[in-house]
């Protein structure tokens, strides 16, 4: 038996486990507060991967269980696909269990608190990597690679978003991930780099519309036209890139036109009700999603970009958001088990040396092409 992975959560967690099970030597357990849900996902993964039941098992798990550290000790890597608010406590329990830990992250406050654990547990030998999803995560690692390729960068911009392939009013959106993540997009201030200094801006800052030829086939109404605006989706990466001499850095979320106008004026105390009332369209074969991202770095007149377009997978039932987020996280988890990430707590752009960063992106592009 090879490395043993514990995946907490069955949403994006399903895609993480699916990617891990592609390696026949990996042992994967998937956990949920509802054991029946975990068992159903485990059975589905077993069928999809061709694994026997000893390759993928199900566990009932509740955050705050006093036996969590004891459970974690059975594994090499613990992966949280739970809401970000749980990750600080889970990371500390993984450190105490002396196992590697990674999560999907995406909330600046939580990631900041996790980095503070370096002071509480100095000299730890395990790796803890928050913010391992699509963004923050993959897009930031791509940005760092482009910066290296150019011998430095003055500006870096990441445009990224999950979109319905069949947008409908009034939101032109659907439930591509947990509503709590959407709430952070709509209300959390975002750190960007401007003039080489960190600047905190409100969500929906720097709104614009752009035409994306690759998206024209998905909406006769918009003909490939999308809106973009700054959000906190880059987590703490602005600070990292400031240290590397970048003058401008921002992550901008993309949506079909109409999303920003609908959400930007909703009071925070009415957000949950609004989501429950208007975001009722699930992601499935009848209502598939897509993920589009482009990362651009510029250094003087030299400029490089990397793009990604992924679609709902009818064969596995995995959404584009699950795939792009989960596959990234699974690759980082595998490289943790292989000893290819730095010890202590580091965000993805700081977790790898340069060969490791290139290897991580190469592994991803074998699953989903980067162009």
What CATH number is given to the structural domain containing 185?
Answer: 3.30.360.10
Report CA-CA distances (Å) from 75 to 1, 62, 257, 277, 355.
12, 17, 45, 41, 26
Residues 6+ apart with CB under 8 A from 286: none
163 and 272 share one domain:
yes
- Asked if residue 207 and residue 149 are part of one domain, the reply reads yes
How high is the pLDDT of residue 52? 54
Containing structural domain, residue 31 = 4-133+325-367
Task: Look at residue 54 in the predicted model and tell me its pLDDT.
Answer: 59
Residues 101 and 220 in one domain: no
Q: Are residues 24 and 105 in the same domain?
A: yes
Domain count, the chain: 2
pLDDT of res. 185? 84
pLDDT at 265: 87
The residues of the chain scoring below 50 in pLDDT are 53
Q: Identify whether the C-beta of residue 80 lies closer than 8 Å to the C-beta of residue 111.
A: no
Residues 221 and 343 grouped into a single domain: no
pLDDT at 180: 77
**Same-domain pairing of 103 and 175:** no
The token pair that represents 231 in the structure block: 């959000």
CATH number at residue 20: 3.40.50.720
Residues 181, 115: one domain?
A: no
Q: Cis (ω within 30 of 0) for the bond into 317?
A: no
**Dihedral sign, CA of 17, 18, 23, 29?**
positive
pLDDT for 233: 85
- Residue 82: predicted pLDDT: 95
pLDDT, residue 276, reads: 85
Residues 176 and 56 placed together within one structural domain of the fold: no
């Amino acid at each position: 038996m090879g490395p043993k992975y514990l995946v907490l959560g069955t949403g994006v967690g399903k895609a993480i486990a699916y990617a891990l099970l592609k390696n026949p030597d990996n042992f994967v357990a998937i956990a949920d507060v509802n054991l029946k849900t975990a068992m159903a996902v485990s059975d589905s993964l077993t069928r999809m991967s061709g694994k026997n039941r000893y390759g993928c098992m199900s566990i009932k798990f509740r955050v705050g269980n006093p036996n969590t550290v004891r459970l974690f000790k059975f594994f090499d890597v613990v992966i949280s696909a739970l809401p970000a608010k749980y990750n600080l406590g889970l990371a500390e329990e993984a450190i105490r269990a002396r196992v590697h830990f990674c999560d999907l992250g995406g909330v600046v406050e939580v990631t900041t608190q996790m980095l503070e654990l370096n002071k509480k547990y100095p000299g730890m030998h395990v790796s803890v990597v928050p913010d391992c999803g699509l963004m923050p995560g993959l897009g930031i690692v791509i940005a760092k690679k482009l910066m290296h390729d150019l011998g430095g960068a003055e500006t870096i911009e990441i445009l990224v978003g999950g979109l319905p392939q069949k947008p409908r009013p009034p939101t032109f959106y659907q439930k591509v991930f947990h509503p709590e993540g959407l709430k952070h997009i709509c209300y959390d201030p975002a750190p960007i780099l401007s003039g080489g200094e960190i600047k905190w801006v409100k969500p929906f800052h720097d709104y614009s519309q752009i035409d994306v030829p690759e998206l024209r086939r998905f909406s006769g109404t918009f003909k490939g036209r999308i809106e973009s605006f700054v959000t906190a989706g880059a987590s703490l990466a602005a600070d990292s890139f400031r240290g590397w001499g970048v003058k401008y850095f921002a992550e901008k979320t993309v949506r079909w036109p109409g999303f920003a106008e609908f959400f930007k004026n909703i009071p925070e105390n009415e957000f949950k009700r609004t989501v429950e009332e208007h975001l009722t369209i699930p992601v499935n074969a009848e209502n598939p999603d897509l993920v589009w991202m482009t990362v651009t770095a510029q250094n003087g007149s030299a400029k490089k970009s990397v793009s990604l377009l992924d679609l709902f997978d009818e064969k596995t039932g995995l959404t584009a958001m699950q795939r792009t987020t989960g596959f990234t996280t699974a690759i980082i988890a595998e490289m943790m088990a292989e000893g290819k990430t730095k010890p202590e707590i580091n965000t993805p752009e700081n977790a790898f040396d340069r060969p490791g960063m290139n290897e991580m992106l190469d592994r991803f592009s074998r699953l989903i092409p980067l162009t």
